[in-house]
Structure 1
C-alpha cells in the first residue's frame, strides 16, 4: 500500500486509535484548524479545507481500491476536513473582526458536537453521500455534515448574540 496515502488518510496514524477513531480524527482537527487560522486566518483555513479534500479523496481512493469496505474506520482525513468546515463561521468572524478565535470557545464546542452528531446520524444528504460507496462519498458525507454543523454554529451564535444578549 502507498505509505503517503496511508499517512494522509489516517492523519499520521490517528485513525488507528480505538475506540471511536472518527471522534479522534475530529479532535485532532481542532488544534490543526486553530494553527491554520493563526497562521493565515480564514483564507488559510479555507485553503486547508480544499487541499485536505483533494488529498483525502486521493488517499481514500488508494486505500480502498479493491476492498469491499469503502469506508474503513481508520480513514479519518474526512473527519478533519468536515470539522474544519464546521469551524469556518468562527474563523471568519475572528478574522474579519480581528479578535482571538479562542475567545469563541463555546462555538468550538458547538462545532465539534454538531459535527459529530451529523456525522454519526447521517441525516438526509449526509447519508446519501455515505451510501455512494466510493472515495468521493467518504469525503462528501463529512463535507455535508460539516456544512450542517457550520449552519448550526451560525444559528446558535445568532440566538446567543441576537436573542439572549
Structure 2
C-alpha cells in the first residue's frame, strides 16, 4: 500500500489532518515529532495558569480527541503511525508540563525530557509503540513518555525548587 503524504493545502481542507498534523508542523521534512512538540509550547503557555482541574480536563479531552484524530488520520494516510501525525506529541508535552512551574527554563526542560523519552522508548513505551494499534496506540506511547518525563521534572522541582 502506498503511503500518502499530504500537502499543506490538503491539511487546510481536512480538519482531521490539520489537527493530527499539529497545524502543519508534522509536515516538517526532518524531526516532525520535535516540531509538533514545539507547537505545543505556546498552547501550554496559555494553559499553565489554569486551575489544575481545568488543565486536567483539557488533557482528558485532548487525549480522547487525539485517539480519534490519530486513528482517523492514520486510516486516511494508509499507515499506522505516520511520522507527520504529531497530535500525540502535543498532548504528551502538555501532560509532561502538568503542574510544572512556569518559566522558560521549565518549558525547555520539559521539552527535552519528553523528547528524550519519546525517542528512546524505554519499557513499556517501546512495547506500546509496537503492539497497541489504532489511535489509542498512537497516543499511548507518547502518554507513557510524558508520564516518565513528568516524574523526572517533578522530582527535579522537589530537589531544586522552582
TM range (shorter): 0.7 to 0.9
Helix, strand or coil: the match of 2:84?
coil
Per the TM alignment, residue 30 of structure 1 is displaced from its structure 2 partner at its CA by: 0.9
2:87 to 72, 77, 82: 77
Per the TM alignment, residue 8 of structure 1 is displaced from its structure 2 partner at its CA by: 1.6
Deviations 1:56-113 (A, max 9, x none): 11111111227652100110000000000110131xxx5xxxxxx22xx332222111
Aligned equivalents of 2:119, 2:106: Cα separation in 1 = 20
- Corresponding residue for 1:97? none
Aligned equivalents of 2:123, 2:69: Cα separation in 1 = 26
- Corresponding residue for 1:160? 160
Is residue 13 from structure 1 mapped to residue 32 from structure 2 by the alignment?
A: no
Runs of 4+ in 1 over 4 A off after TM superposition: none
Ranges in structure 1 where 5+ consecutive residues have no aligned partner:
95-100
Structure 2 matches for 1:73-112, cutoff 5 A? 73-90=83-100, 101-102=102-103, 105-112=104-111
Is residue 22 from structure 1 mapped to residue 21 from structure 2 by the alignment?
A: no
Is residue 53 from structure 1 mapped to residue 70 from structure 2 by the alignment?
A: no
Ranges in structure 2 where 5+ consecutive residues have no aligned partner:
1-9
Aligned equivalents of 2:78, 2:129: Cα separation in 1 = 14
Contact 1:21 1:74 in 2 (8 A): yes
Aligned equivalents of 2:140, 2:133: Cα separation in 1 = 11
The CA RMSD measured in Å over matched residues stands at 2.1
Query: What TM-score, normalized by structure 2, do the two folds share?
Result: 0.83
Structure 2 matches for 1:107-122, cutoff 5 A? 107-122=106-121
Helix, strand or coil: the match of 1:13?
helix
Contact 2:93 2:146 in 1 (8 A): yes
Contact 1:33 1:45 in 2 (8 A): no
Task: Return the structure number with greater helix share.
Answer: 1
